[in-house]
């Protein structure tokens, strides 16, 4: 279907009205059905939007880590990663873009069990082009219509790096060759947060492992070689601060980023030798995490100075 022709879903046609704004909204379409995916791309491109398309939730997450979007339109039942699983990773990462779920199999039980995963708009298949475009225009043009969830998470929008627009399934971002063979250990007792951090780092070219607490982190550091540790603080068996204390006592020189909701600032003041190389207070975006990692591991390659302040202002 050509962009300048009328498109239809279930026999309902609309005439595409080109969006005249200087910077059209960028939309990511995630659907494993090639025909439905391409038709959605054609309809949205014909209405003036920039559109990329991928074939499942895993590819969708990879695309989101590689570029900035204003909206996601996703199916739910897909191989590798479902739509609801992708939304859960977005929420954990505080990515602020709104979501439209278009599906023939609505996971209503999941929205009851985890209401924070409910998308901004749900369109059950079949639906018309007019329904789709109307909902997109509502989300893009009337911010008061956006759900409370998206208003909260939009505060943590991604950085302004872009991937080229595409009207066919987009491939995952190219791994940064300068990051290859740099090994990072992620220590966090929250499974979703830990896995998301690992996924983000691997997607950016790093070699990343994840463990569940400071005790497992300390064991891994004694048995393997890493270039950086990213750790939570409050964890069972051994806190992040206790793990750092063991690192310092053992004269291990690898840098540490503490990423936690409650930074132990009083301990940093009382025992300044335990202060990590950088501290991130949750919530923060994946871009902030990657930028901090880059500043630590690539200080002479556009990553900044290792001696610069990488702490919140009150530390």
Range of the domain at 126: 7-156
The pLDDT profile of the chain, 315 residues, written as one tens digit per residue, is: 333 333 333 333 333 344 434 578 899 999 999 988 998 999 999 888 999 999 998 898 888 877 788 999 999 899 888 888 888 888 777 676 889 999 887 777 777 777 778 888 988 888 888 889 999 998 887 433 333 333 333 333 333 333 233 333 343 344 444 555 689 999 999 888 888 888 888 888 888 999 999 999 999 998 888 999 999 999 988 999 999 999 988 888 899 999 988 888 888 888 888 899 999 988 888 888 999 999 999 876 655 444 444 655 545
Per-position b or e across 250-267, b if 16+ CB within 10 A of its CB: eeeebbbbbbbeebbeeb
What are the helix and strand counts (H, E) for the chain? 11, 12
In angstroms, how far is CA 260 from the centroid of its own chain?
Answer: 17
135 and 197 part of one domain: no
57 and 124 part of one domain: yes
24 and 125 part of one domain: yes
14 and 152 part of one domain: yes
Work out how many domains the chain is built from and give that number: 2
Residue 165 belongs to some domain of the structure: no
Residue 171 belongs to some domain of the structure: no
Residue 313 belongs to some domain of the structure: no
29 and 136 part of one domain: yes
- Which pTM value belongs to this model? 0.47
Candidates 13, 21, 16, 12; CA nearest to 3 is 16
183 and 152 part of one domain: no
Kindly report the number of other CB atoms within 10 A of residue 21's CB atom.
Answer: 10
Q: What is the CATH number of the domain that holds 144?
A: 3.40.50.2300
Tell me which H or E stretch contains 195. Answer: helix 191-203
SS3 53: strand
59 and 125 part of one domain: yes
Residue with tokens 């990329």: 52
Q: Identify whether the C-beta of residue 277 lies closer than 8 Å to the C-beta of residue 296.
A: yes
């Amino acid at each position: 279907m050509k962009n300048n022709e009328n498109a239809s879903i279930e026999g309902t046609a609309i005439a595409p009205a080109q969006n005249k704004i200087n910077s059209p909204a960028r939309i990511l379409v995630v659907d494993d059905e090639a025909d439905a995916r391409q038709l959605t791309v054609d309809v949205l491109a014909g209405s003036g939007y920039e559109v990329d398309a991928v074939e499942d939730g895993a590819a969708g997450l990879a695309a989101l880590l590689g570029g900035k979007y204003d909206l996601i339109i996703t199916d739910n039942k897909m191989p590798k990663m479902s739509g609801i699983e992708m939304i859960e990773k977005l929420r954990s990462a505080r990515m602020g873009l709104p979501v439209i779920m278009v599906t023939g199999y609505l996971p209503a039980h999941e929205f009851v069990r985890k209401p924070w995963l409910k998308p901004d708009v749900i369109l059950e298949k079949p639906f018309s082009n007019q329904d789709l475009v109307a909902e997109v225009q509502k989300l893009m043009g009337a911010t008061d219509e956006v759900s409370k969830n998206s208003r909260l998470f939009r505060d943590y929008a991604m950085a302004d790096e872009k991937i080229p627009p595409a009207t066919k399934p987009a491939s995952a971002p190219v791994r940064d060759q300068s990051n290859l063979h740099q090994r990072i250990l992620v220590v966090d007792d929250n499974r979703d947060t830990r896995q998301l951090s690992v996924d983000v780092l691997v997607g950016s070219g790093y070699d990343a492992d994840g463990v569940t607490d400071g005790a497992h982190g300390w064991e891994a550091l004694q048995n393997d070689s890493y270039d950086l540790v990213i750790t939570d603080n409050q964890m069972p068996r051994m806190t992040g601060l206790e793990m750092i204390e063991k690192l310092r006592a053992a004269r291990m020189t690898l840098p540490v980023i503490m990423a936690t909701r409650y930074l132990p600032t009083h301990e940093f003041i009382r025992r300044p030798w335990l202060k990590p190389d950088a501290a991130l207070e949750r919530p923060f975006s994946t871009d902030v995490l990657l930028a901090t990692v880059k500043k630590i591991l690539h200080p002479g390659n556009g990553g900044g100075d290792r001696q610069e302040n990488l702490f919140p202002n009150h530390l």
